[in-house]
Amino acid sequence: MSAQTEVIPSETARKQAYEAGKLAKRLRHQVGQAVADFNMIEDGDKVMVCLSGGKDSYTMLDILLSLQAKAPVRFELIAVNLDQKQPGFPEHVLPQYLTERGVPFHIIEQDTYSTVTRVIPEGKTMCSLCSRLRRGALYHWAAANGVTKIALGHHRDDLLGTFFLNLFYQGSLKAMPPKLRSDDGRHVVIRPLAYCKESDIAEYATYRQFPIIPCNLCGSQENLQRKAVSQMMHEWERQHPGRSETMFRALGNVAPSQLADRQLFDFASLGSREGAARADVHGWLAGNEGDNH
């Protein structure tokens, strides 16, 4: 082997390591920023990191662990996975990974797979019921174990995708918030990857060689609407790089007076002289009613 051929791989490796370092720094910065902007984690929190075995949740755990080591506040992290008893689920993978990394964890075993396949007709998408059952199991465990924050691995493109799904199919302007209180009021859910783009996460997961568990074990059909929205966003990003970031910024830059939601902005009082306008209208209506007689 010539001296020249030996140099090329090491140069490539150095470049790769440099790029990976930049990527890790960017992700840590974005997670730190989201955590600070939305006050996601406070001193004394017990944060349950929901770990599915996909690239997003591995990345979330990895970045939260590095932030935990440097954060000025003290908080606890516990990784929790729900083993839904899907056929072929490699149940040793997560415990092995978490043990090796020294991360406290718990595996909830609950056969939601049988319930979902029994209730949902064959060929229909099972995700809606599956997610509800999964959420129920995780929230239940959180309540019984003193968890103060539940961390989910949704990223910027999930938040944006949900925004478009609601816009196109529900006629409402709402996305997936970086932080929310659960419907039953008992839990605070946080999404530390809210500022991170999916392609960065995918690259990071590859670089870190997380032992990914495939997400198609259940055999469910993909949600076609979500798939269409995702393709639309990819195409936009391809044709107009940076568009997703601009659209995401819009979610935090809302002008209620420039929309048409009367609950959000008091259009009725606009221009009224301390209610005089309304009184005028009522008086005018009353007068007209009288004219009709």
* Residue 215 labelled as part of a binding site: no
218 near ligand SF4, judged by CB under 6 A: yes
Q: Which is nearer to ligand SF4, 32 or 54 (CB)?
A: 54
What is the rounded distance in angstroms from the CA atom of residue 152 to the CA atom of residue 131?
12
One-character DSSP codes across 230-241? HHHHHHHHHHST
**Phi/psi at 106 (5° precision):** -145, 140
Reduced to 3 states (helix: H, G, I; strand: E, B; else coil), residue 119 is helix
Q: Which is nearer to ligand SF4, 30 or 220 (CB)?
A: 220
- Is residue 63 at the binding interface for ligand SF4, with CB under 6 A as the rule? no
Of 41 and 151, CB closest to ligand SF4: 151
Residue 97 in tokens: 């990974």
For ligand SF4, how many residues bind (rule: CB under 6 A)? 7
Residue 230 engages ligand SF4 in binding (rule: CB under 6 A): no
Selection from 134, 77, 146 nearest residue 108 by Cα: 134
- Site map 114..133 versus ligand SF4, x via CB under 6 A: ------------xx--xx--
- The β-bridge partners of 108 are 82
Q: 50 labelled as ligand-binding?
A: no
**Nearest approach, Cβ of 210 to ligand SF4 (angstroms)?**
18
Beta bridge partners of residue 109, listed in sequence order: 83
Question: How is residue 166 written in tokens?
Answer: 């609601």
Residue 108 touches ligand SF4, criterion: CB under 6 A: no
The enclosing H or E element of 69 equals helix 55-70
Q: Which residues make up each annotated binding site for [4Fe-4S] cluster?
A: 127, 130, 218
Q: Which residues of this protein are in contact with ligand SF4, per CB under 6 A?
A: 126-127, 130-131, 215, 218, 220
